[in-house]
Amino acid sequence: MPKTSQSLHPLLVLHPIQPAYLRLFEEAGFDPIPGWERSDFEAANRRVADDLRFVLTSGSRGLSAAEMELYPKLEMICALGAGYENIDRAAARGRGVVVTFSPGANAPQVADHAIALILAMLHDIPAADRAARTGAWKTYRNSRLHPTLSGRRLGILGFGRIGRETAGRAAGGFATPIAYSARTRRDDVDHTYFADPRALAEWAEIVVVATPGGPETRHLVDAEFLSALGPDGYLVNVSRGSVVDTAALIDALRRKTIAGAALDVVDGEPEVPAELADLPNILLTPHIAGHSPEAVTATIRLVIDNLAAHLEGRPVPTAVPID
């Protein structure tokens, strides 16, 4: 017998998810209640706050201690994706609320996007497309030469699953020398390790930012980092906007103390500062690096695995580490 809406477990969803993927939760026994728009959030709270046990959010959206207080029966907060920086974990721990995340589920797609951003930036694909469409074919072609990715030194800031996947694509497909900076050296890779992120920037011609967000990495890419990267260097960010000091990046791009940048994430998104968007040496995408049918499905499946384990009294597969 199919489950009725009354028998489904309410799940407040604070991160935008397309209807086709919300149905995956319904098939697993949950009633996904959209709450990413303020009006929907308030309506959902009026409907289910007193009995709500499960919340699905993301690292960028998070869940505050004050919001947790709205739900007296809250048992579990699931972060959709690898980030969980804006979930108040201390408040959750104090209330005995389980917090989970979805590490690695979309890493291949994010790594693909990082490589796509590098190629589009180096080859100036957006401007070339506009030139071909607007009759400036010969003018553009005769006035531009573009650097290649092959053989360029690629630095990766943060070396989790996304960093590793990006390194594998670059080294295997483009013969790029790889170096990385992370909190600890990885014994299972042969790439050059820099404990100091600025030393990585000095070595690299391109830096891909693939660190977690949060206070520990806020403005890790600052004016000194960008100065170390230098006028022939390029920056790509597929992690969190907060890792890059936006004001310092705008200044570096404006003064051409770095050659260019490609960002899938911006601090304060979805708002993009006009001073950044108007620059000619930047490429922007709207936080879509992890968006593919395969990646979204894999991420949601991992969330469902965590929810099911909790309901069955088993340890959840991917609990957020306790600080």
Question: Per-domain residue ranges for the chain?
Answer: 5-105+292-311, 107-284
Query: Scanning the structure block, which residue is given the tokens 């799940």?
Result: 11
pLDDT, position 17: 93
- Three-class SS state of 209: strand
Q: Which pLDDT band holds residue 105 (cuts at 50, 70, 90)?
A: confident
* Over residues 91-95, mean pLDDT: 95
* Over residues 215-242, mean pLDDT: 96
DSSP state of 269: T
pLDDT, position 83: 86
* Over residues 213-225, mean pLDDT: 94
Q: Which pLDDT band holds residue 104 (cuts at 50, 70, 90)?
A: confident
* The CATH number, out of the four listed (3.40.50.720, 3.40.190.10, 1.20.1090.10, 3.40.50.300), of the domain defined by the range 5-105+292-311: 3.40.50.720
Q: Does the predicted model carry a pTM greater than 0.75?
A: yes
φ/ψ (deg, to 5) at 179: -135, 160
Please tell me which residue in 287, 294, 310, 312 is annotated as part of the active site: 287
Q: What is the pLDDT of residues 22-80, one digit of tens each?
A: 999 999 999 999 999 999 999 999 999 999 999 999 988 999 999 999 999 999 999 99
The reply to whether CATH 3.40.50.720 applies to domain 107-284 is yes
Whether 205 is catalytic? no
Fold match between domain 5-105+292-311 and domain 107-284? yes
Please tell me which residue in 89, 169, 191, 240 is annotated as part of the active site: 240
Q: Residue 248: pLDDT above 60?
A: yes
Element (DSSP H or E) covering residue 284: strand 282-284
- In Å, how far from its chain's centre is CA 169? 18
SS3 track for 62-112? CECHHHHCCCCCCCEEEECCCCCCCECHHHHHHHCCEEECCCCCCHHHHHH
Whether 240 is catalytic? yes
pLDDT, position 214: 86
Residue whose C-alpha is closest to residue 76's, from 87, 61, 60: 87
Please tell me which residue in 61, 269, 291, 301 is annotated as part of the active site: 269
Whether 287 is catalytic? yes
- Quote the tokens at residue 74: 């809250």
